[in-house]
Chains A and B, each alone.
Chain A
Amino acid sequence: MAGPPKKRQRREDKQEGELPQKKYYRQRAHANPFSDHDLTYPSSPSEMDWSKHYPSFIATSDESTTTTETSHPKTTKQVTIADIGCGFGGLLFALAPRFPQDLILGLEIRTSVTEFVQDKIAALRKQAQLTSTTDSTPTLTNEGDATAPPSYQNISCLRANTMKFLPNFFPRSSLRKIFLCFPDPHFKARKHKARIVSTTLNSEYAYVLRPGGKIYTITDVEDLHNWMVEHLAAHESFERVGEEEVEGDVCVEVMRKETEEGKKVERNGGRKFVAVFRRLEDPPWPGEKEG
């Protein structure tokens, strides 16, 4: 859905590499996760063309990661970190330099918010290219060199309703981290099925996460925190990560400080509740032995 013409015009009135402004991308705060939005999504993960999202990671024909009959270019890496309901993308921009080896994807249901993140990524990539004096290769990535200035080639964002279409994007066990930062609380009991964490939905997170992978949750709403903890703990594929490990995790720090919501809560002096869960190995089938 395109924004109103005026806003759209203003968005386009900027220099190459100039960062987009949020005020031209605002949208009503909630989208109904149950309705049939005019979404585009691949019918299966193998149909997904990641090359548009991560053009620096396009594989030459002999290093393709997948061998399917599909026609789009392949990438050398798979997406391994997902930020679900990424909003204006603060977390993505902070994660980009910290996990240069990972492809990181933000998923957001609101069209113009998604467009903001996409435009900002494009601008940051452009800036990085313009300032990279040492190497003139336009598709420079900082792969393997964590101290290089971020190129933002490893982050992207797309519009999706993750409550319905996560398995369309990600194959089984492909992710190592999922972030659920400041999800919409849906306070009313009859809206609880709209919550991004539920025992049944957790099975889908478990499906796309690899064993040992983690789900990170943060919220300023204590009830929602309790709800997420309760429902993840009740799911046999997850175990809660201990406090020491949580506090030592760089992702937790980033999540607290770099998400837009995290910053808002900070300004208002609010509390932030964090919980991290680890994806366990699937148990053997009933009556069958391990391995």
Chain B
Amino acid sequence: MWPQNFVIGSGKQGYSLRAPTQPNGKDEDNEDSGRPAKKQKTNNAPSKPANVIKLAVSPGKRHVVAVTDDKSIHVFEQYHGKLTQLSQRAMPKRPCAIQITPDDTTILVGDKFGDVYSLPLLPTEEGDVAAGAPKETPQTETQFKPSATNLTVHSKRNRDALAAQMQQKNFTPRKEALKFEHKLLLGHVSMLTDMKYAKCEKDVQSRGYIITADRDEHIRISRGPPQAYIIEGFCLGHTEFVSKICQVGDSNLLVSGGGDPWLGVWEWWPEPKLRRKFNLPDKTKPAGQPLAISGIWSGRVNTGSGEEDIVVIACEKVKALLLLDQAALEQDGPGICVDLAQNPIDVAFDGDALLISTDSRQASEHQRLQSLRLSKKDSELRAEVNASPPALKMLNDYTSDPENGLADKELDTLLYGVVDLRKRRDQETQEAEQGGENGAAADTDD
């Protein structure tokens, strides 16, 4: 079966990871109660490997980071296409977005519960020991909870605060205390859906931002570390969940989408502003289920008439891609729709072509990956099927091991979960009927 995520290394050295291939991690008990979303627990039997749910390549292309659905973050070193695992770290909650910062030192991880952490790409023993790795006594592990490690080491005031906290009796033991170096950078109370690190040039300086999106329609712009506790603004206007955000190249444009029948094109910097609501063409809307944007990608392409940032959009379970060029992003251009034979799962830019992984259950084995060549004619964007390049043929010829394969239903949950983000607006009525999770304690006196 083909993975839901794949990445392309630089130039000809493309490579892919397939799921499920990763070493098995421990499936730690999580406390998902009190959250609205359905649990998507994959109760891995000990023999079953975990599935890769996210992949990222370091900007320097030397490292690959994979997230498996046992909440683990694996770092691999890449050498001539061979991957060697360097570390495996288990997060407290299931990661839903990862990125490696442009300086190649830090992994940013957003989890479903709304928190964004930073971890060193390559952990050091000192850092991990300081964070309560096994050398320490078990007692300090629970005291050193993430909320206290956060943002605390920069000023005297905060050091004092932390010191005071360490002396306090431990009234907040956390089962999930992390025993490796990490910082809690920011958090949403809402379910986090996407996170991007973005850079912006300001005079001669360059500023880093963390942009986060949540199920409650927010897009939040925070400063990048070490000032991630400062919120610079919000891109507000969505009326349904936001599932994906994407910076257009290194510009100040951001494209967002989710449950609304339109895409937001925002100037996210210097003052967040909605520039265009791009109404989704009917062709990109699903027939049998509510609309859910499942992917937004951006890449710089030489279209034959110069370099241009192209944005690609996929809707869940729709056999098409929407392509937006500069004219669609900055003015009122219509973009183009490309029909596909199967549902697109992930997209990567490969030079001037788009590499698309599709749901291979819907077609012959040889079409799991497809390539589209992008060009412009009379300033109109075109996408033509690229007759199978050799690398593609090799990957398409690869057959998966049926032993490791997932049942159809499991795979559906893995590949098509975005639509479940849609809110059920009648939930409160139900909750009131059931007395809610806190029972029906009423006000006592007043």
Residues in A lying within 8 Å of B, measured CB to CB: 1, 22, 26-38, 43-45, 88, 163-165, 167-168, 172, 189-194, 198-204, 206-207, 223, 226-227, 230-231, 233-237, 239, 260, 264, 282-283, 285-288
Contact = CB atoms under 8 A, between A and B. Distances in A.
Best-buried of A34, A163, A189, A239 by chain B (most CB within 10 Å): A34
B144 to A, nearest CB: 13
Given A27-B443, A31-B438, 12 more contacts: A29-B442, A30-B436, A34-B189, A165-B216, A167-B234, A193-B113, A199-B151, A203-B186, A234-B152, A236-B158, A264-B445, A285-B223
B237 A44 contact: yes
B251 interface: no
Contact of B173 (A189, A264, A283): A189
A236 B429 contact: no
A43 B237 CA distance: 5
Contacts of B435: 28
A35 B440 CA distance: 16
A141 B238 CA distance: 37
Interface size class of B (residues with CB under 8 A): 35 or more
Contacts, number: 169
Nearest to A232: B161
Given A43-B238, A230-B165, A236 B172 contact: no
A200 B187 contact: yes
A29 B441 contact: yes
Given A28-B442, A189-B172, A199 B427 contact: no
B129 interface: no
B36 A199 contact: no
A248 to B, nearest CB: 23
A28 B227 contact: no
A27 B150 contact: no
A28 to B, nearest CB: 5
A265 B5 CA distance: 56
A230 B429 contact: no
B436 A230 contact: no
A149 to B, nearest CB: 26
B215 to A, nearest CB: 9
Contacts of B114: 200
B287 interface: no
A164 B218 CA distance: 9
B427 A36 contact: yes
Given A200-B184, A201-B189, A34 B35 contact: yes
A43 B242 CA distance: 12
Given A22-B446, A190-B31, A203 B427 contact: no
Contact of A234 (B31, B148, B218, B234): B148
8 contacts: A30-B436, A35-B34, A35-B428, A36-B427, A164-B216, A193-B113, A199-B187, A285-B207
A86 B135 CA distance: 47
A201 B437 CA distance: 23
B218 A167 contact: yes
B189 A31 contact: no
Given A44-B236, A199-B150, A32 B155 contact: no
Given A200-B184, A236-B151, A36 B172 contact: no
B222 A203 contact: yes
Contacts of A260: 446
B442 A38 contact: no
A210 to B, nearest CB: 14
A26 B189 contact: no
A72 to B, nearest CB: 16
Interface in B350-398: none
A259 B387 CA distance: 73
B441 A38 contact: no
B414 interface: no
A35 B36 CA distance: 5
Contact of A28 (B115, B184, B239, B438): B438
A34 B36 contact: yes
A198 B445 CA distance: 29
A263 to B, nearest CB: 9
A234 B151 contact: yes
Nearest to A88: B446
A192 B157 contact: no
Given A32-B436, A38-B427, A236 B442 contact: no
Contacts of A43: 217, 236-239
B250 to A, nearest CB: 17
Given A29-B441, A32-B437, A34-B35, A236 B231 contact: no
Given A30-B436, A203-B222, A235-B229, A1 B428 contact: yes
